[in-house]
Amino acid sequence: MIKIAICDDETAFLTELSAMLRSWAASRELVLQLFPFTNGDKLIAACEERPADLVILDIMMPFPGGMDTAKALRQKESHVPLIFLTSSPEFALESYEVRAFWYLLKPVSEERLFSVLDQWLTSMQASLRHFAARTISGYQNIYLRDVEYLEARNKLVAIVFRDGSVLEIKEPFHRCEEFFTPEKGFYKCHRSYLVALNCVETFSKAELRTKSGARIPISRDNGVAFKDAYFAYMFPER
């Protein structure tokens, strides 16, 4: 089941959008659960109790506005994908600050909405992929969505998860490279590190800092390539 929360202060548009979402889900043979809201406070409260797989949010709403609502969601549920709805492109750059998956200009056509939803669905399905890793106690499935970065440690690889836990696996680093690829949102910034691009908080030519605060080196000849990979993955062409 896919859970999508939508928030718009215009009830007529909310009804129209809900119908398009149900049509999209039916055409893809997906089970969909919708959670419609008319203001940001109710959306934030609901997402705390029942996290959504996707949030579709209007920017131009009464207090709290869509951007403030998105920032509040990022503080509480940092990885939920956001799709912004707006009648003006002036908010495009600001939407990057909260790592919006996409933004759509109103009026929203069914064709355009379906295209964006298909891209989101593909990325979500990719994040659910898992890597069967050999550990000291046996095999364990590692889900991409849970991983912040990987570090080669002699003959072991340490997997650092988004919740701060660490698991050492008995796998060669090159095998991890074959699975944790740029297409899946990972990048080898250094010979000993693979990092999830959507977990990067800041970076320079020589170092990056993850959202958990870990500092990871970027190899000298990899600075430009890492920058290009980061922006290509985080901000694909709209």
Beta bridge partners of 184: none
pLDDT digits (tens, 9 = 90+) for 98-152: 667 788 888 899 999 999 999 899 878 776 678 889 998 888 989 888 899 999 9
Contact (CB, 8 A) for 206 and 221? no
pLDDT of residue 96: 54
User: Is the pLDDT at 193 greater than 90, yes or no?
Assistant: yes
Q: What is the mean pLDDT of residues 198-212?
A: 93
Q: Nearest-CA neighbor of 79 among 7, 127, 116? A: 127
221: DSSP letter: G
* Neighbouring residues of 75: CB distance < 8 A, sequence distance ≥ 6: none
81 vs 218, higher pLDDT = 218
Q: What stretches of 32-172 show up as alpha helix (H) in DSSP?
A: 40-49, 66-76, 92-97, 110-127
| pLDDT for 238 | 46
Instruction: Return the residue matching tokens 């707006």.
Output: 86
Amino acid making up residue 102:
W
pLDDT for 83-111, tens place per residue? 988 876 665 555 555 667 788 888 899 99
Q: What is the pLDDT of residue 128?
A: 66
Say yes or no to pLDDT of 236 above 70: no
Cα separation of 23 and 89, whole Å? 27
Kindly report, residue by residue over 20-78, the tens digit of the pLDDT. Answer: 999 999 999 999 999 999 999 999 998 888 888 899 999 888 888 888 898 888 877 55
Domains in the chain, ordered, with CATH? 2-127 (3.40.50.2300), 130-234 (2.40.50.1020)
Q: Where are the beta strands (DSSP E) in 8-75?
A: 32-37, 54-58
Q: Quick one: which of 222, 202, 225, 214 has its CA closest to 159? A: 214
Tokens of 52: 């959504």
For range 173-202, the mean pLDDT = 92
CB 170 within 8 A of CB 136: yes
Greatest distance between any 2 Cα atoms in the chain: 60
Predicted TM-score (pTM) of the model is: 0.58
pLDDT in the model for residue 49: 83
Q: Which residue has the higher pLDDT, 183 or 77?
A: 183
Comparing 113-122, 197-206, 228-237, the range with the smallest average pLDDT is 228-237
Which amino acid belongs to residue 73?
A: L
